[in-house]
Amino acid sequence: MEITKKALVIEDEENIAELLQMFLEKDGYVVRIAADGRSGLEQAKSFAPDVILLDIMLPKLDGVQVLKRLREEDGATPVIMLTAKSEPYDKVFALESGADDYITKPFVPKEVIARVHAVSRRTERAADETRNNKILEFDKLLINLDSYVLLVDGKKIETPPKELELLYHLAKAPNRVFTRNQLLDEVWGFDYFGDSRTVDVHIKRLRYKLDGVSDQWTLKTVWSIGYKFETERDASDSDETLI
Ligand code: CA
């Protein structure tokens, strides 16, 4: 499936907005224009753009306020500020306001597109890293160790930190068998004062939350060894990998 990229241009000067729209559409973007700060904010929510080009001097709500609110609500969308030499705002001001980049008016098309590409690459990479490092997704299961959130079938399930860390540790290496002692060392730490029953108790609580949710993964006991997070796909085509 081809993914359409969306750009939102928040700019009250019609000719500049249309010029930007033209450049961006030529580059394959679907573009919307907002002519004031307030409608810009609304469109940022409803249109969910991949990138926002934001003028500073805007009616109703200026660019700085728009950016501030955007960052409060959703920190992820890259924002490029449009600054003008004639206005008392420079690149430092734009970047300190929380913009990802800036473009000085008057601009050349090539530069606009280059900047849009650069911030998109940057945020995509950042998102990938977050996904790879701290968020695991399986059928009806999302483990987010950045914000310590567990979503089961789309619902947030209250889970104590160690329980979530244990689940994350197992799910990060699907189908790998961990011994209780390994889990104690790796999740609780070497100097943790406790025994392997600690692991059993936590697994039991996790099972209570996770059993029967999906047929594509399960928290499995490997008899006399320990535990694994078994996934359907790998279980069928690989032999048991013991440590
Ligand atoms: Ca303006």
Query: Tens digits of per-residue pLDDT, 80-102?
Result: 998 876 666 666 677 777 788 88
Q: What pLDDT sits at residue 72?
A: 84
Contact 171, 136 (CB under 8 A): yes
Report the share of the chain in percent with pLDDT over 70.
85
Domain boundary assignment for the chain: 5-128, 133-235
1.10.10.10, 3.30.9.10, 3.40.605.10, 1.10.10.410: which CATH number matches 133-235? Answer: 1.10.10.10
Check residue 240 and give its pLDDT.
45
For the stretch 199-219, pLDDT in tens is 999 999 999 999 999 999 999
- What pLDDT, in 10s, does the model give residues 159-184? 998 999 999 999 988 888 888 888 98
**CATH homologous superfamily of 5-128:** Response regulator (3.40.50.2300)
Q: How many A from CA of 152 to the centre of ligand 1? A: 46
Q: What element of type H or E holds 16? A: helix 14-26
* 16 CA → ligand 1 middle, Å: 9
Query: What SS3 state is found at 187?
Result: helix
Strands 217-222 and 79-84: unpaired
Of the candidates 42, 38, 65, 40, which has an alpha carbon nearest to the alpha carbon of residue 53? 40
Q: What is the pTM of this model?
A: 0.54
CA distances from 47 to 43, 163, 209, 241 (A): 5, 37, 35, 46
Q: How far is the CA of 32 from the centre of ligand 1 (A)?
A: 16
Q: How far is the CA of 77 from the centre of ligand 1 (A)?
A: 21
Tell me the CA–centroid distance for residue 79 and ligand 1, in Å.
16
Task: Give the chain's mean pLDDT.
Answer: 85
Quick check: do 5-128 and 133-235 share a fold? no
